[in-house]
């Protein structure tokens, strides 16, 4: 069984290139650095919601990210 000390979580679904199964709202990861990288490269569906990495034994949030939808326009 996987011993996971870190949890990537959000109130919404999370998607990203490093996630094993996109679309869940929680992922358990054994390593803190790996969890932060996975969370940093991810986004929520819908966009703009918070993604957190929590140290499970203590409940401490070690990383949080809120990705705001881009307002960039190609009509410069």
Determine whether 73 is exposed, middle or buried from the number of CB atoms within 10 Å of its CB (0-12, 13-18, 19+): exposed
The predicted structure's pLDDT at residue 4: 85
Give the residues of the chain that fall short of pLDDT 50: 1, 72-76
Q: DSSP characters for 8-48?
A: EEESSEEE-TT-SSTT-SEEEES-HHHHHHHHHT-EEESTT
The predicted structure's pLDDT at residue 68: 61
Count, residues in the chain: 76
The predicted structure's pLDDT at residue 69: 57
d(C-alpha 76, C-alpha 16), whole Å: 29
Provide the whole-model pTM: 0.83
d(C-alpha 17, C-alpha 14), whole Å: 10
């Amino acid at each position: 069984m996987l011993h996971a000390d870190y949890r990537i979580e959000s109130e919404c679904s999370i998607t990203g290139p490093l996630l094993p199964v996109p679309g869940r709202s929680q992922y358990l990861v054994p390593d803190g650095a790996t969890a932060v990288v996975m969370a940093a490269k991810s986004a929520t569906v819908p966009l703009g919601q918070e993604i957190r990495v929590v140290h499970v034994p203590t409940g401490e949030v070690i990383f949080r990210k809120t990705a705001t939808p881009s307002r960039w326009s190609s009509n410069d």
